[in-house]
Structure 1
Amino acid sequence: MTAAPASVRVDAWLWAVRVFKTRSAATAACRAGHVKIDGTSVKAAQPVRPGQRVTVRRPGHEQVLEVVQLLTKRVGAPVAAAAYVDHSPPPPPALHAAVPRRDRGAGRPTKKDRREMDRLRGL
């Protein structure tokens, strides 16, 4: 039997716990500076150990994960979820406005109608 590793590359761990779909996507995120360990930007080969906090910045939100278990291979979702503790802040409430609909048979909007719609949308 092989012993559990003392550390794993951060890109491999993020891929193994299903934060990214591919390992190359995890590597690209590290290269772009979107991945931090304990508040410090890291390269893809940076080792991660249990107890460290990995922060992943995504469009619209930020994930803060505490490493509990090291994984080198991609595993099933329940096992992957047990490998970290999620300390992410709750996402901001999304405001969904109803999409305005034109009456059936009203035809295409005029230039004036389009300008009013743009003004309502804030464009």
Structure 2
Amino acid sequence: MRIDKYLWCIRIFKTRNIATEACKKGHVKIDGKNVKPSKEVFGNELIIVRKNQLNYEFEVLDIPQSRVGAKLVDLYRKDKTPKEEFEKLDLLKYSKDYYRKKGTGRPTKKDRRDIDEYYDSSEFNETT
């Protein structure tokens, strides 16, 4: 079975087209090597998928005939993703919460005071 179809069948990607694009962009590796979407998948291979800034690792246990239900996915793959990857996800969530979302408008009065205080205490005023 092709790697893009396999990733779609075991529900790593929502559509086969997304799986194909991920392969073309180099986000999918088999045994440490970038693969094309047409690469054949066999048992006991280690697949690394870069998705949402995390590297997921899966071992191929079996090849499904077609797309499988979410409860049956573990029959065809074994998740070997290290715990550190999920800790990175938590850190990413905290870092994104600090910044204001793009397009939320002008700075608030408090934001403006913080900006003014930063520029008043920075080296910009020391050099002039």
| Structure 2 counterparts to residues 1-123 of structure 1, below 5 A | 8-90=1-83, 91-92=86-87, 94-95=90-91, 96=94, 108-109=108-109, 112-115=112-115
Unaligned runs of 5+ in 2: 99-107, 120-128
Tell me the TM-score normalized by structure 2.
0.70
* Same amino acid, percent of matched pairs: 33
Alignment size in residue pairs: 104
Secondary structure in 1 aligned to 2:13?
coil
Higher relative CO (Cα under 8 Å, sequence separation at least 6) belongs to: 1
The 1:111/1:38 distance shift into structure 2, 3 A limit, reads closer
Secondary structure in 2 aligned to 1:11?
helix
Unaligned runs of 5+ in 1: 1-7, 100-107
CA deviation after TM superposition for structure 1 residue 118, in Å: 8.5
The 1:77/1:22 distance shift into structure 2, 3 A limit, reads same
Secondary structure in 2 aligned to 1:48?
coil
CA separation in 2, counterparts of 1:21 and 1:83? 17
Tell me the TM-score normalized by structure 1.
0.73
CA separation in 1, counterparts of 2:71 and 2:82? 21
CA deviation after TM superposition for structure 1 residue 89, in Å: 1.2
Over aligned residues, Cα RMSD in angstroms?
Answer: 2.6
Q: Which of structure 1's runs of 4+ aligned residues deviate more than 6 A?
A: 116-119
